[in-house]
Structure formats: C-alpha cells, structure tokens
Amino acid sequence: MKILSRNRTVRSAALFAAAALALSACSVQGGSGDGDGGGDYPTRPVEFSVPTEPGGSTDLVTRALAKSIEEPLGQSAVVLNKPGANGKIAGKDVFSSNPDGYRVAVMPQSLFAVGPLVLDDPDAVQLEDMTFIKGLAVEDYVMVVPADSPIKSVEDLKKAGNIKYGTTGAGTGSQLSQALLLGLQKVKATAVPFDGGGPTLTAVLGGKVDAAGLQIAEAFEQIKAGELRGLAVFSKERLDALPDVPTATELGYDVTVDQRRFVAAPAGLPDDVRDKLSSAIDEAVQSKEYSDVLESSYIGRWDADGAEVEKQLRESRDQFKTMTEELGVDMKGQS
Amino acid sequence: MDFLSPVLDGFGVVFQPDNLLYCLLGVTLGMLVGVLPGLGPAATIAILLPITYNIEPTSAIIMLAGIFYGAQYGGTITSVLLRLPGEASSVVTAIDGHEMARQGRAGAALGIAAIGSFIGGTIAIVALTFVAPLVSGFAIDFGPAEYTMLALLGILLVTTLGTGSIFKSLAMATLGLLLATIGQDPLLGTARLTFGSDQLLDGIDFVIVAMGLFGVGEILYNLEALRKKAPKAAPVGSVYPTRKDFSESKGAIARGSLSGFLLGILPGGGATMSSMVAYAVEKKATKRPEKFGRGAIQGVAGPETANNAAATSSFIPLLSLGIPANATMAIMFGALMLQGITPGPLLVEEEPQLFWGVVNSMYIGNLLLLAMSLPLIGIFVRILKVRAAILAPLTILITMIGVYTVRNNVFDMYLVIGLGLLGYLMKKVGFEPGPLVLAFVLGGILESAFRRSMRTFDGELSGFLGEPIAASLLGAIVLLILLSVLRAVRSRNKATQNKENKNSDVTPAEREPEDGAEQRDRDPAEHP
C-alpha cells in the first residue's frame, strides 16, 4: 500500500501529499519485506489480519492470540481489521503479499466450504493461495425457536410447515445447517438472512421468524433465561454448554456443520518460518488469556497442523457440496 | 423501596475513586476520538480491549461506555466547525451548525449542543433507570416490517432538510438510494455495480460518503472563494449561547430528549433516525421554518440532544436483553464476554453492581463532559481564525487519516476524493448533500428490511397490515402525506385569491414530502 502512494506522488499537490502522510502514519507495519532471511525471523512485528469488524468472535480470538503470541515470538503482533466480502478482502490482501511470515490472516472455514455453494465467484480466494499454519477454533451452531413457539422439537417443524428461518447471513454455517436439516425433513422453508448474530437473535426473540440458527455464545444466555428454546445442535456430540439439546444426528438427521478458524499465510511460505509461527501459536493458545476468551465465548479448540487444516477444508467443502446436491437444496435461490 | 436499593448501591460503586478515574479517562478519550472523524468509538474500544483484561469488569465497562457517549460530544465539534460529520447521527447538525459557524456563531452552536447533549443524556439515564424493563421489549418488537416503514418515514423526512427545492432534495435522495445499492446484495451476496472490483464489494462506507460530500466538497468550494476575494477571517462572536439562544432551544431540547430516548432503543438506525426526526419536528414546530438550513439554533439543539439521548438508551437492549444495538455495543458485548460476563436477560439480577454501576456512571460522565466542553469551546472556535490556506490541507489530512482507519484501505481514500469532487460540483449548482447522505444510510436499511419482510410474508404486500406497529407507521406516513397535500392545496387556493402573496417559500416546502413519500411508497410495491 505504501508503494502505491510512493509511485504516484507526482500528481496534484496537497491532496496526495496529505494522503501519503496519512498512509505512512497508519501502516507502519507493511508487508513488503526485502529479503529477510528465515533464520532470524521475526525481526519486526507480525501482522494478523482479521476479516471482520472489531468485536466479533474472530476478532476476539485473534486479539487474544496476538497478545499471547508476543512472548514466544519475541516480537509484537498487530491486529488489523479488514472486513468485507465474507473475508475475501482480507484474504486477497494478505495472500497476494510477500510470503515472508510478517503478514498472516485468520480465516473462516465457511469462506471455502459454504461460500462457493451460494455464489459463483471466479475471483474467490483458493486453497492454493495459502500456506496453512495452524487450526485455532471450532464454533458450533444451535437451532432455536422463541420459548412460546408451538414448535417444541425438530419433529414439530415438519408439522408446522412453511418455516421462515433466520440465518446470520448468506453463505454461513447458520444457513447451511438449517437448510440441510429442513431439506432432509422435506419441509417447505424460506431462509431470511440477517446481518450477523445480533440482528438474527433480535428477530427470533421478537417472533419475526419461526426459527433461527445461532452460534452458542449468541444464544446461550437467552436459552438459560428461558427466552429461547434450543431444538438441535449441529455438532457431532452434545455440547457441555447445552447438555439438554440433542444433536441433529441423534434425531436422525445426519447434519454436522460447524465454523472453524485457522491461521494462514501466503502460499510459498518457507518451512522454517511456518514452523516458527506454528510453535509460537502452540504456546500462545495455552495462555490463560486465550483460554478465557474461548471459554467465555463457548468456543472450542481446534488443534490441527497445516496439513490437517487443508484436509478439513477440502473434506467439508466436498461434503457440503454433495449433501446440498443430493437433497436438492439450492443455497443460491433461497439464501 | 426494594427497587431503589440496588440503584443506590450502584452510586456507591461509581464513587469509588478508581471508577471515577476510569470514567474521566473514558469520556476524555471519547471526546478526542469524536473530534477525529473516521476513528469512531467502535474502533477505539476495540483497540483498548486488551487493556481492559486486567481491570475490574465494572471499571472496564464504565470506561468503555464513557468513550462511546463522550464521542457523541466530540463529533459535534467537527460537524459545526469544519462541516465534517463523522457519524450518521451528526449529519443534520452539520447543516445548521456549520451555517451558524459561518455567521460567527460557532460558540453558540457548540454551547447549545453541549448543553442539549447533557440534558438529553441525563434525561435518558433517568428514563433508563425507571423504565428500562418496560421499554426493552420495544427493541424486539421491531422486525423487518417495522424497519421498512421506519426507513420509509425517514426518507420522507429527508425532504424537509435544508433550504433547497423539493426536486433537488428528491434528486439527491434518489442518488443516495442508488449509491446504497453498490456492493454485495444484502441478502444473496451477489455483486452489484462493483465494476468487477473487490474494493466496492462491501459497498461504500457511510463515513466516506459523508466526509467526501460534506467535508472535502466544502473545502474545495471554499478554495474557489479564496481566489475571488481576499480571505476574510470568519468573525467569532460571543463564545457562549445568549439568553435568547436558550429560550429558542428550550423546546427543541425537551422534544429531542424524548424522541432520542425512544428511537435510540431500536437496534440499527435508531440514533440516525432520532436526529432526523428531531430536526423535522423542530422545523414543523417553529414559526420561522425558513430559517432552517440558514443557521437555526433549534436545528442544532434538537438533533444533538436527540443523538445523545439515543446513545444512552442504546444501552438498554444490550444490558437488559443482551442484544447489541450498534457496532459499538457489539464490541461492548465482546468486552463483557472477555470479563466472563455474557450480557443477557438475566444481567440485571445476576450482576446488579455492574448494571447500576455502569448506568449511574453515565450521570457523572455527562457532567464531566459538560464541564470539559464548555471551557474548550473558546479554544475550538479559534480554529475558524486559522487561515483557509492552512486549515484546508490540515482538514484534508485529518479526513484522509480518518477515512483510512475505517477499513485500513487505501482505495477508500481515492473514493473520498472522488466524492469530494462530486460534493463540490453539487454545491456549485445548488444541490445539498444532506438528503443524499441520509437517503444513503436509510436506503441500506430499507432495501434489506423490505426484502426480509417479503420473505416472511410469502411475498404478500398486505403482510405489512398484519403487523400492528408497521401498520401504524404506515398510517402515520399516509397521514403526513395527506396533511401536506391538503396544506399545499389550501395555500395554493389562497395564493390565487390574493395574488400579492407571492411568498411561495412556504408552499413548495410544505409540498415536498408529498412527492417524496408517494414515490418511495410506490417503489416497493413495484418491486417483485
């Protein structure tokens, strides 16, 4: 980015001078490394890009990670929020930079596994663009209805028919999990996508939609307070946080959908740099701060190395694709 | 009084010396980031989050809350002095506030804004204390259908802004609605009007539109004026509002407190709507609506009071329901979670110390802000004495930093310059940016809310009539249009009867909502 303003300064005076000044003031930790050897990496701060606005769970997890990784890394870690286009903006930005280990991104599984089902994007971030470093977190989804809803169980969804279900957005696990469940039930249903967890929660609390898919942290307090009823969770096994809510699988609907987050760098990252980062992350995720964030947000650990991350992404992508195709669930049309 | 004892305990929490200190720290920081456009309270709180790990939860939230409402005070300053509204809720302040500054009454504008903010904020806290449990349900009663109607009402009110002709306002509002459609389709994620660029995928940020059209456009326009005649330093009159100013704004402050408190509870566009409603109400309430857009003090007092009251009441959904009403509240939610407290319906019972400590700290915070703002006004208005040749590049610099911090994206800086040029051309031919910017904000709400409603109503427009609140809002819209038509017809008859009454300034101004509303009203119906 700095390069941009450097190359084109000779335009018109005041505006661009100001722009350049503002730039150099803000992006001190650029990624244009010039030949740092891998051996003494890192010699300057490492930048962690987050593809969301500040405040969401990805942001919280990354900030806790960044804070805890400074010691094992021996350098400061900077968190940079680059929201937009379900992570594509941050992904494109980081993965087109120099693979020197000074710029990494925390990416969501949904961008690669669910996104393609909703949108044909020839320009999407590809798995081949990344060097996978470490898995970080697993977040689970729960399908909820208002406490006073006549729908008491997953079976009741079938009886009720014509279900309007709130999702946290197009191409999210919230949409996919419910679409698959309702698809298996052959219930007529319409997805109503909202802009994230907060608005979805508001809508289902107010009875504006019949049901909604939320992450555990978003729904937990409301379920505890008796405002919402959990119908099913989409994890493999029942969750410690919601022991009374059955999994979709045990109800006979083989739907497991979760959201996973991982750290990735541009493709072509030298192995020694990757190992250094990966062992620093291993150490950082043991810190109390990081553990507290996970615990209070009902987020699980995802302890996976780079190869496992890649495998998980490929598998979930293929699995979701096959399932939606078999069930004839068209995520595009009804998202 | 069982109810009051936790409230009083809350004061005990606030008056602990370290909590007072955190409160002071928060509001001071808030005011500073409010002055810097772009770097909003949301980003500031996110940056400060790691620092709060090791502080007591109550102290941490007191400080973060202080940043949030402190920023509301600070935002006024740039709106009035430099015509740089950093948040949607201070766009309307920029209209009359900056006009007042040009007339040498910047001090009066800032003074009345600070006092109005204080009163609005305080009334909202009192209301929060006593009626929060009663009104919290209001937030979840508003679903897609209600927001559709609310946004329609807002677009109807856009036409009352400023002094320009109805048709110009409408043209600008339409352009604003069009700009709002750039980027990913809000429901399906399909790219629209992005010209194949990833940069536009997420649409244009409000801050960029507002700063480009208002701030940069204004600067470019003023530079032109520099050449024509010798630069004349804007006269800086009395630094404080006069007694007359107070008596003129009394009503505005009272009404602004009410509308701000109520609309602030709504997640989403609450604060923005409240400032627009306040402006429109004042313009209707005054005997001299022609002064609006030309430096009417009520046009500053009403909206500024309302947006502060709204900032306070936006805590209600978070603290009593666990629903974050805006981006800042979402980060507050995160901050609480980091402290091991998940905000939800049980928060008041489980954490009374935290709840009442934070609520009561806002009294102190508002008092501190008032005490800080009034003496600072004298210093801030001196900015206007700085020569334009120095002030203009400085303002551009601040704008550029602000714009960059929104998404850490260089493309946005080019965008703001482009929009600045557009703002300059608009100003040159007499189009006002206010309607464009606000329609831009409301357009985003309107489209997604309308399309969500259609999904829940199985595509039947009549579904709106089945929702009591949405139907009432629709009734209000229809009534407003009818009244305007009636008044327009009557004044036209009068005009034909006595031809010397050529003061047609009022007639088009009264007629304008009619056109705007009908057009917007029909629009969704035609949408399949």
Please indicate whether, in this complex, the C-beta atoms of A225 and B324 are within 8 angstroms of each other: no
Chain B residue numbers with beta carbons less than 8 Å from the beta carbon of A82 are 407-409
Residues 450-509 of B with CB under 8 A from A: 452, 455-456, 458
CA gap B203, B209 in Å, rounded: 11
Residue B293 Cα distances to B283, B297, B306, angstroms:
10, 10, 18
3-state secondary structure of B236: coil
What confidence tens digit (pLDDT) does each residue in A80-126 have?
888 776 778 789 889 999 999 999 999 999 989 998 888 777 778 89
pLDDT, averaged across chain B? 83
Option in B198, B331, B392 nearest A89 (CB): B198
3-state secondary structure of B56: coil
**Which among A144, A136, A172, A137 is positioned nearest to A299, based on CA atoms?**
A137
Please indicate whether, in this complex, the C-beta atoms of A54 and B43 are within 8 angstroms of each other: yes
Q: Which structure tokens are listed for A82?
A: 């680059």
Option in B143, B201, B317 nearest A84 (CB): B201
Strand partners, A50: A81
pLDDT band at A311 (very low <50, low <70, confident <90, very high): very high
Option in A85, A162, A208 nearest B202 (CB): A85
DSSP line for B323-383: ---SHHHHHHHHHHHHTT---STTHHHH-HHHHHHHHHHHHHHHHHHHHHHHHHHHHHGGG
CA gap A90, A71 in Å, rounded: 25
Residue B143 Cα distances to B150, B239, B438, B448, B470, angstroms:
11, 45, 21, 11, 9
Q: What share of chain A is helix, strand, coil (3-state, %, to 5)?
A: 45, 20, 35
Q: Which structure tokens are listed for A44?
A: 């300057």
CA gap A165, A181 in Å, rounded: 11
The CA angle B526-B527-B528, to the nearest 5 degrees, is 105
CA gap B135, A111 in Å, rounded: 39
> How long, in residues, is chain A?
335
Search chain B and give the residue with CA nearest A295. B340
Specify the residue for token string 């083989």.
A254
Q: Is the dihedral of CA B489, B493, B496, B498 positive or negative?
A: negative
User: What confidence score (pLDDT) does residue B498 get?
Assistant: 63
pLDDT, averaged across chain A? 85
Please indicate whether, in this complex, the C-beta atoms of A53 and B327 are within 8 angstroms of each other: yes
CA gap B489, B250 in Å, rounded: 33
pLDDT band at A261 (very low <50, low <70, confident <90, very high): very high
Option in A82, A190, A203 nearest B407 (CB): A82
Mean pLDDT value across residues A133-144: 96
Q: Please name the amino acid found at residue A204.
A: V
Contacts of A228 (CB under 8 A, 6+ apart): A144, A145, A146, A147, A204, A205, A219, A222
Reported as type and span, the H/E element at residue B399 is: helix B388-407
Strand partners, A258: A140
- Asked if A324 and A179 count as a contact pair (C-beta separation under 8 A), the reply is yes
**How many distinct structural domains can be found in chain B?**
1
pLDDT band at A2 (very low <50, low <70, confident <90, very high): very low
User: What confidence score (pLDDT) does residue B286 get?
Assistant: 86
Please indicate whether, in this complex, the C-beta atoms of A221 and B346 are within 8 angstroms of each other: yes
Smallest CA–CA separation between B414 and chain A, in Å? 9
Mean pLDDT value across residues A70-83: 89
Reported as type and span, the H/E element at residue A167 is: strand A163-167
Q: Please name the amino acid found at residue A308.
A: E
User: What confidence score (pLDDT) does residue B512 get?
Assistant: 41
Search chain A and give the residue with CA nearest B330. A55
Chain A residue numbers with beta carbons less than 8 Å from the beta carbon of B268 are 199
Tell me whether B391 touches chain A (CB under 8 Å).
Answer: no
Mean pLDDT value across residues A293-312: 92
- Asked if A179 and A190 count as a contact pair (C-beta separation under 8 A), the reply is no
Mean pLDDT by 10 residues, chain B (528 residues): 75 90 94 78 78 85 92 87 82 90 90 94 92 79 91 83 75 93 84 83 86 89 71 60 90 94 82 87 86 90 94 88 81 80 82 90 94 87 82 87 83 94 92 88 90 93 92 92 82 70 45 41 40
Please indicate whether, in this complex, the C-beta atoms of A23 and B410 are within 8 angstroms of each other: yes
Q: Flag whether pLDDT at A57 surpasses 80.
A: no
Q: Which structure tokens are listed for B311?
A: 């900032």
User: What confidence score (pLDDT) does residue A6 get?
Assistant: 35
Option in B43, B338, B409 nearest A296 (CB): B338
Interface test with A, best of B39, B204, B222, B410 (most A CBs within 10 A): B410
Chain A residue numbers with beta carbons less than 8 Å from the beta carbon of B141 are 206
Contacts of B2 (CB under 8 A, 6+ apart): none
Backbone angles phi, psi at A191, to 5 degrees: -80, 135
Tell me whether B318 touches chain A (CB under 8 Å).
Answer: no
- Asked if A205 and B140 count as a contact pair (C-beta separation under 8 A), the reply is yes
Please indicate whether, in this complex, the C-beta atoms of A335 and B189 are within 8 angstroms of each other: yes
Rg for chain A (alpha carbons), in Å?
21
- Asked if B82 and B381 count as a contact pair (C-beta separation under 8 A), the reply is no
When mean pLDDT is compared across A57-66, A162-171, B46-55, B151-160, the lowest value belongs to: B46-55
Interface test with A, best of B396, B406, B445 (most A CBs within 10 A): B396
Option in A27, A59, A208 nearest B46 (CB): A59
Interface test with A, best of B204, B416, B456, B467 (most A CBs within 10 A): B456
Chain A residue numbers with beta carbons less than 8 Å from the beta carbon of B198 are 85, 88-89, 92, 123
What confidence tens digit (pLDDT) does each residue in A229-255 have?
999 999 999 999 999 999 999 999 999
Reported as type and span, the H/E element at residue A285 is: none
Option in A22, A162, A289 nearest B397 (CB): A22
- Asked if B84 and B399 count as a contact pair (C-beta separation under 8 A), the reply is yes
Tell me whether B50 touches chain A (CB under 8 Å).
Answer: yes
User: What confidence score (pLDDT) does residue B392 get?
Assistant: 86
Rg for chain B (alpha carbons), in Å?
23
Residue B369 CB-half CA count within 13 A: 39
Torsion angle of C-alpha atoms B36, B312, B98, B399, degrees rounded to 10:
20
Option in A92, A162, A217 nearest B342 (CB): A217
Domains of chain A: 42-139+259-314 (3.40.190.150), 140-257+322-334 (3.40.190.10)
**Which among B447, B448, B326, B143 is positioned nearest to A212, based on CA atoms?**
B143
User: What confidence score (pLDDT) does residue B519 get?
Assistant: 41
ipTM: 0.80
Please indicate whether, in this complex, the C-beta atoms of B458 and A80 are within 8 angstroms of each other: no
User: What confidence score (pLDDT) does residue B38 get?
Assistant: 67
Give exposure, B297-312, as e/b (b: 16+ Cβ within 10 Å).
bbbbbbbbbbbbbbbb
- The domain in which residue B95 lies consists of 4-526
Chain A residue numbers with beta carbons less than 8 Å from the beta carbon of B222 are none
CA gap B287, A49 in Å, rounded: 54
Residue A59 CB-half CA count within 13 A: 25
Please indicate whether, in this complex, the C-beta atoms of A221 and B344 are within 8 angstroms of each other: yes
Interface test with B, best of A60, A220, A294, A331 (most B CBs within 10 A): A60
Option in B186, B201, B410 nearest A4 (CB): B410
CB pairs under 8 A between A and B: 183
Chain A residue numbers with beta carbons less than 8 Å from the beta carbon of B393 are 14, 17-18
Specify the residue for token string 């490394």.
A33
- Asked if B26 and B64 count as a contact pair (C-beta separation under 8 A), the reply is yes
CA gap B190, B188 in Å, rounded: 6
Please indicate whether, in this complex, the C-beta atoms of B321 and A205 are within 8 angstroms of each other: yes
Contacts of B61 (CB under 8 A, 6+ apart): B332, B335, B336, B339, B354, B358
CA gap A19, A5 in Å, rounded: 8
Interface test with A, best of B342, B347, B417, B451 (most A CBs within 10 A): B342
Smallest CA–CA separation between B210 and chain A, in Å? 17
Option in A89, A164, A224 nearest B201 (CB): A89
| Between residues B88 and A72, the one the model is more confident about | A72
3-state secondary structure of A142: strand
